[in-house]
Amino acid sequence: MSSFLETLRREFGGDIIEPGSAEYETARRTVLIVGSPAYVLRPKDVRDVQAGVRFAAASGLALSVRGGGHGFAGFGTNDGGIVIDLGALADVEVLDKERVRIGGGATWGQVAAALTPHDLAISSGDTKSVGVGGLTLTGGIGWKVRKYGLALDSVAGAEVVTADGEVVRADAGENPDLFWALRGGGGNFGIVTAFEFAAHPTTEVFHGKITFPAAEAAGVLQGWADYMRTAPEDVTSVVSYANPFAGGATAPVEIHVVFDGDDATAAGAALDPIRRLGTVLDDDVTLKSYAAVLEDGLTPPPGIRLLPRSGFVDTPSVPAVLRTIAEAGASGTVPFTAIRSVGGAVARVPGDATAYAHRRAELMMVTTLVGPEAVVEAARPGVEALWQRLSPHVDGAYANFLAADSEEAVAAVYPPETYRRLAAVKRHYDPANLFAANHNIHPQ
């Protein structure tokens, strides 16, 4: 080990953080999980990433890669292994009016802040502190998803350090198999040190939430889904139900909306059908910059756990799913549920163009348990019972909201044909499975 470490210290220009050092307490943890790694490496450039990957391969220690540190499964840290923390690779460079190069460790807040002065934006997620790397490599469902697709649909190319420590480019012309796999296959294939994105022109947007009484949930949910099916793609919307920060089971139904444009008349026409769904309790939709739409994100206090579970809903199953959720709401047994309208530009991308496997879904639903470990565990059987009732109508899982790392969980993310194709790419670029701390694709 000591000779590998000597080589690392010679080749690595960034910070090497070990237990006992002043920075270790913050370096050991992600937003959600506290680990106890032996080394946290903070590369300053791509050569440092190469040195870190070679050190990890030679040492035989487990390797975690950390982008923004928001992964629910906690892959961004470990016990006794190596963490490569990409946080310093956060440059955002506007190449021209349509293309942006973004460091693999940037967060979406950094991206939005850098692009807003150029009147540009990228379809991303809803939270500033979430990393570009983790979110993009497995999807990216945010406020422009119906208009521009997933975050990964805007990726035009990537610079990747592969398991042998080499730097390769992946795009439609160069290493197209790797380019395909990176768009949905997560961190399995290497460390993305920079993404090249197609950016989209943006103005200020209308954003806010329109709330309805919980008692009207059944009609509001169904009416919302019916409207979103054919709504203009400028509208993206998420329903929050039983929000624990707004009263839990008795919380009003919140319909969060973005209208992607600054034309008040067009926004009114597009959002009024939502306002007419029931008795509006509150409506705080206003015009703001896209950067201001993104939430800051929060680091839960120690001991607080977040346990999400997700599934996708095709059009024929929408009524049954929404009815089941409203019934659970009426009986006071519904957990915090977010229902995201997808479709639109997501559904226009051919199913085999990327490794993201849920193009046909109309909705994605996510339940999240939040609280101390004991509270989450106590509520878990009830949530599992709800998913059991939903199971004939819900399919798959969204890797970005997957806390489990079992083979069964991974099988819900990738249908067999997608998995086989990913495994072939994995065999080529990472035959020894160095990048295993992720929703893992086994090379064999």
Ligand X SMILES: Cc1cc2nc3c(=O)[nH]c(=O)nc-3n(C[C@H](O)[C@H](O)[C@H](O)COP(=O)(O)OP(=O)(O)OC[C@H]3O[C@@H](n4cnc5c(N)ncnc54)[C@H](O)[C@@H]3O)c2cc1C
* Interaction of residue 30 with ligand X, rule CB under 6 A: yes
* Interaction of residue 234 with ligand X, rule CB under 6 A: no
Q: In terms of Cα–Cα distance, which of 360, 358, 280, 267 is closest to 316?
A: 360
Residue 406, judged by CB atoms within 10 A of its CB (0-12, 13-18, 19+), counts as exposed
- Closer to ligand X by CB, 188 or 324: give it: 188
Total number of residues that touch ligand X (CB under 6 A): 36
Segment contacting ligand X by CB under 6 A, of 67-75, 274-282, 313-321, 389-397: 67-75
**Segment 95 to 124, residues that bind ligand X, using CB under 6 A:** 104
* Interaction of residue 343 with ligand X, rule CB under 6 A: no
DSSP tag of 334: P
**φ and ψ at residue 418, rounded to 5 degrees:** -65, -45
* Interaction of residue 140 with ligand X, rule CB under 6 A: yes
The mark string for 174-203 relative to ligand X (x by CB under 6 A, - otherwise) is ------------xx---xx-----------
Three-state DSSP at 205 gives: strand
C-alpha 68: how far from chain center: 10
Q: In terms of Cα–Cα distance, which of 147, 137, 108, 110 is closest to 124?
A: 108
State the angle between helix axes of 217-230 and 318-330 in degrees (0 to 180), rounded to the nearest 10: 150
Segment contacting ligand X by CB under 6 A, of 60-68, 254-262, 274-282, 411-419: 60-68
- Closer to ligand X by CB, 277 or 441: give it: 441
**Alpha carbon separation from 74 to 152, 271, 293, 425 (Å, rounded):** 21, 38, 26, 24
* Interaction of residue 52 with ligand X, rule CB under 6 A: no
Contacts of 316 (CB under 8 A, 6+ apart): none
* Interaction of residue 76 with ligand X, rule CB under 6 A: yes
**φ and ψ at residue 230, rounded to 5 degrees:** -125, 10
Q: How many CB atoms lie within 10 A of CB 273?
A: 16
Please state, in angstroms and rounded to a whole number, the distance separating the CA atoms of residues 328 and 176. 46
Contacts of 60 (CB under 8 A, 6+ apart): none
* Interaction of residue 70 with ligand X, rule CB under 6 A: yes
Q: Which one of residues 121, 141, 253, 413 is an interface residue with ligand X (CB under 6 A)?
A: 141
Segment contacting ligand X by CB under 6 A, of 62-70, 206-214, 222-230, 281-289: 62-70
Q: Whole-number minimum distance, CB 277 to ligand X, in Å?
A: 23
Segment contacting ligand X by CB under 6 A, of 139-147, 276-284, 315-323, 420-428: 139-147
* Interaction of residue 430 with ligand X, rule CB under 6 A: no
* Interaction of residue 142 with ligand X, rule CB under 6 A: yes
Q: Which one of residues 53, 130, 210, 369 is an interface residue with ligand X (CB under 6 A)?
A: 130
* Interaction of residue 125 with ligand X, rule CB under 6 A: yes
* Interaction of residue 273 with ligand X, rule CB under 6 A: no
Segment contacting ligand X by CB under 6 A, of 137-145, 205-213, 283-291, 374-382: 137-145
Q: Whole-number minimum distance, CB 185 to ligand X, in Å?
A: 10
* Interaction of residue 135 with ligand X, rule CB under 6 A: yes
Please state, in angstroms and rounded to a whole number, the distance separating the CA atoms of residues 153 and 155. 6
The torsion angle over the Cα atoms of residues 347, 348, 354 and 357, rounded to 10 degrees, is 20
What is the distance in angstroms between the CA of the first residue and the CA of the last residue of the chain?
28
* Interaction of residue 75 with ligand X, rule CB under 6 A: yes
Radius of gyration of the chain (CA): 22
- Closer to ligand X by CB, 133 or 149: give it: 133
- Closer to ligand X by CB, 80 or 268: give it: 80
Q: In terms of Cα–Cα distance, which of 330, 319, 340, 331 is closest to 390?
A: 319
Q: Whole-number minimum distance, CB 280 to ligand X, in Å?
A: 25
- Closer to ligand X by CB, 64 or 237: give it: 64
**Under the rule (CB under 6 A), what is the footprint of ligand X?**
30, 64-72, 75-76, 86, 104, 125-127, 130-131, 133-135, 137, 139-142, 186-187, 191-192, 297, 400-401, 437-438
